[in-house]
Amino acid sequence: MGALIARLRQVRREALGLNRRNQDLLLRVNPPRLIALVDHKLQTKVELARRGLPVPDTFGCYARQRELSALTRELERHRDFALKPARGAGGEGVLVIAGQRDGRLVKPSGATLGLGDLVAHAADIIAGAFSLSQARDEALLEYRLSPEPVLATYSPGGIPDIRVLVYRGIPLMAMLRLPTRVSDGRANLHVGGLGVGLDLRSGRAVHAIWHDRPAAVHPDTGQPLSAIAVPHWADILTLAARSYDAVPLGYFGIDIVIDERLGPVILEINARPGLAIQLATRRGLRPLLAAIARLPSIPPAVADRVATGLDIAARVT
């Protein structure tokens, strides 16, 4: 117990706070034009795809209420899909349909809704109900990502993602976010998702939190979280580093899903990633950022930036 308390005190001293994040990172290294780019999910996907990075297919984009008739026609071609706001944040407004039954649309949780409910939800998206600025938005219809078998067992009624923090193109911290029944299938921590801190070198679980408190097992399944080892780990770190070459924000969080058919796919990039990842990993960000700042130069090659991140993760305790 004494060692744990000492470790928590160390993390508190080394943790990056909200004000320091905003002033020392976001304002200094994230240009407004790139923030605006990643705040729009479709524009971000276009830029990533242009660089050959994997993103979910977009079936349609609807910006006006009169275009919703085209949405209903497009839905006839897809039994499962995701509907989301282009300018949403925190998973708000995302609606995932896993199939259809008796003329109803079925969510991953098993709950159902009618086509009219979905169209009304799309209308709310367009009206700006879920956008960052509460301004008019666009509704995106996308390929529904499905979790690969290893992580699917920890994700009842939803899909997990891996959040990697990247600073100047170097991966420096990561966690697995797991949906729960409380989060209604979403992986976002602020709505009740689980955060599992990962060892950057191996992708193995080191600690976990739920509602900002330590967690040993998944609250819905009782499975021990310490047994988690994320598949495709080297590919995930490579994707995180490559994304910097496509969207060169100085500091960002990238969310990656391991799809059962496609493998690792970039879900989105966040220019204002939350700081709870420090609780999940039991590591403060400040020493890691300082170690990168002391580098004489940033390696231009993706593989070298990943290796640099792994070296810093091993050296900085």
229 and 80 within one domain: no
229 and 101 within one domain: no
Residue 102 pLDDT > 80:
yes
106 and 21 within one domain: no
226 and 198 within one domain: yes
Q: Which of 142, 171, 201 is the last residue of a domain?
A: 142
Q: Which of 142, 177, 204 is the last residue of a domain?
A: 142
- Report the CATH number that the domain containing residue 12 is assigned in CATH: 3.30.470.20
DSSP class of residue 15? P
308 and 225 within one domain: yes
13 vs 129, more confident: 129
289 and 309 within one domain: yes
Residue 119 pLDDT > 80:
yes
pLDDT for the residue numbered 1: 59
Q: Quote the pTM value.
A: 0.92
260 and 311 within one domain: yes
Question: Across the strands, what pairs with 46?
Answer: none
Tell me which H or E stretch contains 140.
strand 139-142
Residue 184 pLDDT > 90:
no
pLDDT tens, residue by residue, 271-297: 999 889 999 999 999 999 999 999 999
Query: Token pair for residue 171?
Result: 């991966």
**Domain residue limits at 108:** 58-142
pLDDT tens, residue by residue, 11-43: 667 888 777 777 777 788 899 999 999 999 999
Residue 217 phi, psi dihedral angles, 5° rounding: -135, 160
| Amino acid, single-letter form, for residue 223 | Q
107 and 87 within one domain: yes
For residues 37 and 107, is the Cβ–Cβ distance under 8 A? Answer: no
Q: Which of 142, 161, 196 is the last residue of a domain?
A: 142
Q: CA–CA separation, 35 vs 272, rounded Å?
A: 9
User: Of the ranges 40-49, 134-143, 241-250, which one carries the lowest mean pLDDT score?
Assistant: 134-143
Give the dihedral of Cα atoms 316, 242, 89, 135; nearest 10 deg: 130
For residues 106 and 112, is the Cβ–Cβ distance under 8 A? Answer: yes
pLDDT for the residue numbered 26: 79
205 and 136 within one domain: no
The total domain count for the chain is 2
Stated length of the chain = 317
pLDDT for the residue numbered 132: 76
Averaged over 102-124, what is the pLDDT? 93
171 and 45 within one domain: yes
Residue 135 pLDDT > 90:
no
pLDDT confidence bin for 187, thresholds 50/70/90:
confident
269 and 192 within one domain: yes
252 and 158 within one domain: yes
pLDDT for the residue numbered 3: 63
pLDDT tens, residue by residue, 222-243: 999 999 999 999 999 999 999 9
Cβ density class 102-135: b for 16+ within 10 Å, e for less: eeebbbbeeebeeeeebbebbeebbeeebbbeee
- Average pLDDT score, the chain: 92
256 vs 183, more confident: 256
Alpha carbons within 13 angstroms on the beta-carbon side of residue 89 total 15
